Amino acid sequence: MQNRPGRSPRITINDVSTAAGVSPATVSRVLNGTAKVDSSLVDRVHDAVRKLGYRPNAAAQGLARGEWGTIGVLVPDLANPYFPDVLKAVSSVARAHGRRMMVMESDEDPAVEHDLVEDLMRCCDGVLLCSPRMPRAELAELLSREHPMVLFNRVVPGLTVPSISVDFHGGMTQVCGHLAQLGHRRAAYLSGPSASWANAERIRAFEGARAFGLEVNVIECGAGSQAGYDAVGALLESEVTAILTYNDLVALGALSRLNELGVSVPAQYSVVGFDDISLDRVAHSNLTTVSVPRDELGRRAGEILEQLLVNGYDADPLYLPMALHVRDTSGPPRR
Amino acid sequence: MQNRPGRSPRITINDVSTAAGVSPATVSRVLNGTAKVDSSLVDRVHDAVRKLGYRPNAAAQGLARGEWGTIGVLVPDLANPYFPDVLKAVSSVARAHGRRMMVMESDEDPAVEHDLVEDLMRCCDGVLLCSPRMPRAELAELLSREHPMVLFNRVVPGLTVPSISVDFHGGMTQVCGHLAQLGHRRAAYLSGPSASWANAERIRAFEGARAFGLEVNVIECGAGSQAGYDAVGALLESEVTAILTYNDLVALGALSRLNELGVSVPAQYSVVGFDDISLDRVAHSNLTTVSVPRDELGRRAGEILEQLLVNGYDADPLYLPMALHVRDTSGPPRR
DNA sequence: CTGTTAGCGCATTCAC
DNA sequence: GTGAATGCGCTAACAG
């Protein structure tokens, strides 16, 4: 863009207009189809564009149009297998509406998260906030900026902001019901990040299962397979017969550890995941889990954001249902 | 950005300068630390910024500075488990240098790929091209634009462009050696996309294994687990005892199908993956495969691009080595 | 140290 | 239909 040594000078709309013998305005019209232009001029412009290799500067366009042509997505962890599908869907929707996608990662850090959102607001028409860890007040303050924003995987009661999420509560309830019907009476939940709303929803449903006679036990754990691996040790001294987890990674970590310890699943312990990251791509996975329609989620989120940008959007939070997949890691409790 | 109905008017640097009783230039200096400013003014500026909720417009900054503050990454498939780690690393490097990351997906389509690269060049200081499927000539033409660009996972002989890649050839050679030493004499390779350089490298090494007495057999397949699943049928009628694959997804799909068919692995067939996407996150994976250091790859790629932007970069293509992981899906051939 | 000025590259009024 | 002029919001000379 700038003329650094050794780099050829940037070609502007003026270069094209000169080469084509027309005004810059005409070049703009031709390129954007903004108005009718004599076909002979159209050709001359296209020729000049091609010959010069002209590419309109996106920053200049953005400035002049008052739109960046970009949406921003902030995720807590890019390496989390949950997000690629979401990003893919969002990207596709964005592109269908002529927008680019900026991606940032907060590394699960609420403080960083705040700064990144602010940064996104400086360069994007709208922001899609995935699973924000941010405290409610901070979120409210960000929303007060009146910058188009959609919340993904978190619903904040009292804040009116377009939100789309998954019915985690329902998902966890299905898991508990499944285990209870198998005969389990004591279960442990390996809890995810405490700041996570999604985690809180799971816990809420988990504790609700007490009503069905399930003795529940929440254990601080984390969000990765390592956390699951590490958390298993303490469990084996307890009376639980079923292990529920914050997500599939944790479950897989736990399974891995159980396997090492020679504990058989599901004979001695049932293990149930959450999210279903393992199935679709890794076909022979066999973890019992509940799934969320990730691409639909991403698609809908993208569409809501787009609608918000164009018409405004005002609807209640959307909850997509989860589906239970009973596979090989759950069974009747040991006697 | 623009004043749409119901949206509050955008706050500019002038609003801040007025509120603080200083010139816009001073505001700019304070915010960018470009020059020394009297501390009393600094405070007034900061107060005004906070009170007004001012956020500099990235497009305007970009235009004025002659830099977008953004790098672009183009990947063939966002949902491919290979890329999250790469994106994560690239994002982290970019941010460390104060740049944002734009992400685009070509959907494995060379035609789309071209347009997206052009688009990235309009809005990014530099472009990281992952596994481009594009024909060589087209790539050359794109490079002639003199826009900073780094090639990732593809090396094009004769084109001098910063490239970083993986020693796929070496990886495949290790796989073949492993199988040969186990006693295999007939192997099939489930080939990936034909336009893929990475695939060509694997094939080259695979065929090189003939020299060691391995009878090799390349079978068109594809890049996803479904492709692997579908490709298995035809194999069972052949004499091969080992199945090599384009990547782990294909291998897992194949395993899944073999499992359904009641064919045992590795007793009847050895199956070997490529890339090692399954291990690190899904701890109890047991696929024999070769791994690539994805985060190092992403990190180095990001750093090369950054260096290219700042100092210029001129070095030979970098090849990172792969490592063989012998796990449970490979063993001696059936008699 | 600080304010004034002049672009950055483009879209978009207006006149013609 | 087309061109000339203006401004998007900011930074970087340039004066003072």
What is the pLDDT, as a whole number, of residue A282?
54
What is the pLDDT, as a whole number, of residue A256?
83
* pLDDT-based confidence at residue B149 (cuts at 50, 70, 90): very high
Q: In angstroms, how far is C6 C1' from B63 CA?
A: 14
- Nearest chain B residue to A86, by CA: B79
- Whole-angstrom Cα distance, residue B124 to residue B149? 10
What is the pLDDT, as a whole number, of residue B4?
45
What is the pLDDT, as a whole number, of residue A279?
53
Q: Which of B56, B122, B125 sits opposite A55 (nearest CB)?
A: B122
Query: Is residue B2 scored above 60 in pLDDT?
Result: no
**A234-243, B157-166, B182-191, B276-285: least confidently modelled range:** B276-285
* pLDDT-based confidence at residue B8 (cuts at 50, 70, 90): low
Question: Strands, E, within chain A: which ranges?
Answer: 70-75, 100-105, 126-130, 149-152, 163-166, 186-191, 215-220, 242-245, 270-272, 289-291, 318-320, 323-325
**Mean pLDDT value of segment B158-184:** 96
Per CB-CB distance under 8 Å, the chain B contacts of A230 are none
What is the pLDDT, as a whole number, of residue A104?
98
Tens digit of pLDDT at every position of chain A (335 positions): 444 444 567 899 999 999 999 999 999 999 999 999 999 999 999 999 999 999 999 999 999 999 999 999 999 999 888 899 999 999 999 999 999 999 999 998 999 999 999 999 999 999 999 999 899 999 999 998 889 999 999 999 889 999 999 999 999 999 999 999 999 999 999 999 998 899 999 999 999 999 999 999 999 999 888 899 999 999 998 999 999 999 998 998 898 899 889 999 999 999 999 988 865 445 455 889 999 999 999 999 999 999 999 989 999 999 999 999 999 999 999 98
Amino acid at B175: V
What are the pLDDT digits (tens) for B199-257? Answer: 999 999 999 999 999 999 999 999 888 899 999 999 998 999 999 999 998 998 898 89
**3-state SS class at B115:** helix
Domains B70-166+294-322 and B168-292 in one fold: yes
Asked whether residue B34's C-beta has any atom of DNA/RNA strand D within 7 A, the reply is: yes
Tell me the shortest Cα–Cα distance from A140 to chain B, in angstroms. Answer: 14
What is the pLDDT, as a whole number, of residue A145?
87
CB-neighbour burial class of residue A287 (10 A; exposed 0-12, middle 13-18, buried 19+): buried
For the domain spanning B13-64, the CATH number is: 1.10.260.40
* pLDDT-based confidence at residue B10 (cuts at 50, 70, 90): confident
**Mean pLDDT value of segment B151-174:** 94
Signed CA dihedral, A248, B223, B324, B334: sign only? positive
CB under 8 Å to B217, separation ≥6 — which residues? B186, B187, B188, B189, B238, B240
Predicted TM-score of the model (pTM): 0.90
What is the pLDDT, as a whole number, of residue B46?
98
Q: Which CATH number fits domain B70-166+294-322: 3.40.50.2300, 2.30.30.190, 3.10.20.30, 3.40.50.300?
A: 3.40.50.2300
What is the pLDDT, as a whole number, of residue A285?
56
Domain definitions of chain B by residue range: 13-64, 70-166+294-322, 168-292
Interface test with A, best of B123, B255, B276 (most A CBs within 10 A): B123
What mean pLDDT, rounded, does chain B reach?
A: 92
User: With contact defined as beta carbons under 8 Å apart, do B94 and B128 qualify?
Assistant: no
Q: In angstroms, how far is C9 C1' from A24 CA?
A: 11
Backbone angles phi, psi at A158, to 5 degrees: 95, -25
Interface test with A, best of B130, B146, B232, B282 (most A CBs within 10 A): B282
Structure tokens belonging to residue A156: 């904040």
- Tell which residue, B121, B1, B309, B68, has the closest CA to residue A56: B121
Can you identify the CATH homologous superfamily of domain A168-292?
Response regulator (3.40.50.2300)
Tell me the shortest Cα–Cα distance from A38 to chain B, in angstroms. Answer: 27
